[in-house]
């Protein structure tokens, strides 16, 4: 690194990607910084610079580099690959440790602590952040984790039998078979008989008792701005299947429609194709981030309908890839596969494309897709 480039880094101060350290720091503290960068978005550790940005230097470049290599290899789990370089400023040597975003996340220190970068500091990862990291690297899926305060008796077994018989043509009569299929579909942890998150959402008598965010909040707004008068709100709860039926009923009541006679039968044509709206909501249920304690929101304005799904897009998924139907990354594979078995979703990765096509055909208007840090929004125009 050139001297001028290094001085520009110093002038920026400590930030999301830059940390100042002295060589006297403990191995644990240096491992903490390596881990937090590897778990987040990568960064640079400037060894030989104090917290104020003053260049102090290091006593021996080779010793510092060997020490940092040893810390990255033996004080971090998994070992972190680092690249090091040095720069001399006015006779003082500084070691620059480059840490890339790791592909084996999450990393932890030898003492077992997981850290992430937040603004200009490293801090312990929250449970939710850790789960998101596991999800993003496909180390585990949140919808397959057991819900610790739920029990087998909280599941509506008659609903599960109905599902097996009507969607899979399977009839079961004894508890052993019930447990087998529940566990096979990742709706129950076989050893403990504790329902998973997916099991609760699909089969619990009262899903929101355990998963409060597993609901949909609907609102009809008299205007085009969120701050205008709310005419009606509705909180949709229950099993996923019931919620999907209820949201369809809500759309039918809230949207304009014209009646006509076709083949001597009365027929309603809604201003927005109900199939497109249903697809958008089912996609939100299937792909939202359940580590975020927020419900799906459906907002009906005078000029549009917005479906807000908690969580940013999964890794490698972009708005462009969704538009062409080329994205297939499952955040919640158990929920998705259950919806697939119930014929509520079709081939993976084509849902958004179908919504866009339906709206274009019926309204000759475009669907807007907005990806934010903590939510994904589908905006469908009204007539």
pTM for the complete prediction?
0.71
pLDDT on residue 349: 64
Q: Does 216-381 carry CATH code 3.30.565.60? A: yes
140 pLDDT band (50/70/90 cuts)? confident
pLDDT in tens, 346-364: 766 678 889 999 999 999 9
Residues 6+ apart with CB under 8 A from 258: 268, 269
DSSP β-bridge partners for residue 121: 118
Bridge partners (DSSP) of residue 308 are 297, 377
- Determine phi and psi for 91, rounding to 5 degrees: 85, 0
The answer on pLDDT for 20 being more than 90 is yes
pLDDT, residue 131, reads 81
Average pLDDT over residues 304-315: 90
User: How far apart are alpha carbons 109 and 77 in whole angstroms?
Assistant: 6
Give the model's pLDDT for residue 136: 74
pLDDT exceeds 80 at position 331: yes
15-19, 137-141, 173-177 — which one is most confidently predicted on average? 15-19
Residue 267: per-residue pLDDT:
64
Q: Do domains 3-125 and 216-381 have the same CATH topology?
A: no
Cα 360 to its chain centre, rounded Å, is: 28
Farthest-apart Cα atoms in the chain, separation: 93
Region 20-24: mean pLDDT is 96
Instruction: Calculate the alpha carbon distances from 347 to 49, 251, 325, 350, 353 in Å.
Output: 54, 25, 10, 6, 11
Q: Percent of the chain beyond pLDDT 70?
A: 95
Residue 314 has pLDDT above 80, yes or no: no
pLDDT reported for residue 90: 93
Mean pLDDT confidence for 291-319: 91
pLDDT at 261: 59
- Tell me the domain boundaries of the chain: 3-125, 143-210, 216-381
Cα separation, 348 vs 328, whole angstroms: 6
Question: Cβ contacts of residue 341 below 8 Å, gap of 6+?
Answer: 163, 167, 168
CA distances from 363 to 265, 273, 350, 382 (A): 24, 9, 20, 8
**Predicted confidence (pLDDT) at residue 264 exceeds the cutoff of 80:** no
Query: How far apart (Å, rounded) are the C-alpha atoms in residues 200 and 239?
Result: 8
Model confidence at 263, pLDDT cuts 50, 70, 90, reads low
Would you say 86 and 93 are in contact if contact means Cβ atoms under 8 Å apart?
yes
Please count the other Cβ atoms lying within 10 Å of the Cβ belonging to residue 129.
18
According to the model, what pLDDT value does residue 66 have?
Answer: 97
Q: Mind listing the pLDDT tens digit for each residue in 203-252? A: 999 999 999 999 999 999 999 999 899 999 999 999 999 999 999 999 99
At 153-188, the pLDDT tens digits run 999 999 999 999 999 999 998 999 999 999 999 999
What's the mean pLDDT when you consider all of the chain?
91
- Exposed e or buried b per residue across 198-227, where buried means at least 16 C-beta atoms within 10 angstroms of its C-beta: bbbbbbbeebbebbeebbbebbbbeeeeee
Domain at 3-125: CATH architecture: 2-Layer Sandwich (3.30)
| Higher pLDDT pick, 29 / 312 | 29
Q: Which residues contact 188 (CB under 8 A, 6 or more apart)?
A: 152, 155, 179, 182, 194, 195, 196, 199
- Cα gap 339→345, rounded to integer Å: 6
Interval 106-110 mean pLDDT: 92
């Amino acid at each position: 690194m050139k001297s001028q480039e290094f001085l520009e880094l110093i002038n920026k101060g400590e930030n999301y990607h830059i940390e100042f350290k002295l060589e006297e720091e403990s191995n644990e503290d240096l491992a903490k910084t390596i881990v937090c960068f590897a778990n987040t978005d990568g960064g640079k550790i400037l060894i030989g610079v104090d917290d104020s940005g003053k260049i102090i230097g290091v006593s021996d470049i080779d010793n510092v580099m060997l020490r940092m290599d040893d810390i990255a290899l033996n004080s971090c789990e998994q070992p972190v690959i680092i690249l090091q370089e040095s720069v001399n400023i006015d006779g003082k040597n500084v070691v620059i440790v480059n840490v890339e975003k790791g592909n084996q996340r999450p990393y932890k220190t030898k003492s077992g602590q997981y850290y992430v970068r937040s603004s200009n500091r490293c801090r312990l990862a929250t449970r939710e952040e850790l789960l998101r990291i596991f999800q993003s690297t496909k180390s585990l899926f949140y919808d397959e984790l057991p819900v610790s305060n739920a029990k087998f008796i909280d599941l509506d077994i008659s609903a599960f039998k109905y599902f097996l018989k009507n969607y899979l043509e399977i009839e079961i009569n004894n508890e052993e078979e019930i447990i087998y299929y529940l566990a096979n579909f990742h709706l129950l942890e076989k050893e403990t008989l504790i329902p998973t998150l997916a099991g609760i959402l699909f089969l619990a008598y009262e899903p929101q008792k355990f998963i409060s965010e597993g609901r949909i909040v609907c609102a009809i707004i008299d205007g085009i701005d969120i701050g205008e008068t709310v005419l009606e709100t509705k909180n949709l709860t229950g099993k996923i299947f019931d919620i999907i039926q209820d949201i369809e009923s809500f759309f039918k009541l809230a949207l304009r429609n014209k009646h006509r006679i076709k083949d001597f039968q009365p027929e309603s044509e809604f201003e927005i194709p109900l199939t497109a709206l249903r697809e958008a909501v089912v996609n939100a249920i299937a792909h939202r981030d359940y580590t975020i304690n927020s419900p799906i929101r459906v907002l009906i304005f005078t000029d549009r309908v917005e479906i807000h799904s908690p969580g940013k897009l999964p890794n490698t998924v972009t708005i462009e890839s969704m538009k062409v139907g080329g994205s297939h990354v499952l955040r919640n594979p158990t929920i998705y596969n259950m919806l697939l078995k119930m014929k509520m979703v079709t081939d993976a990765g084509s849902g958004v494309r179908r919504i866009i096509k339906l709206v274009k055909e019926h309204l000759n208007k475009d669907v807007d897709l907005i990806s934010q840090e903590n939510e994904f929004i589908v905006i469908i125009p009204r007539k």
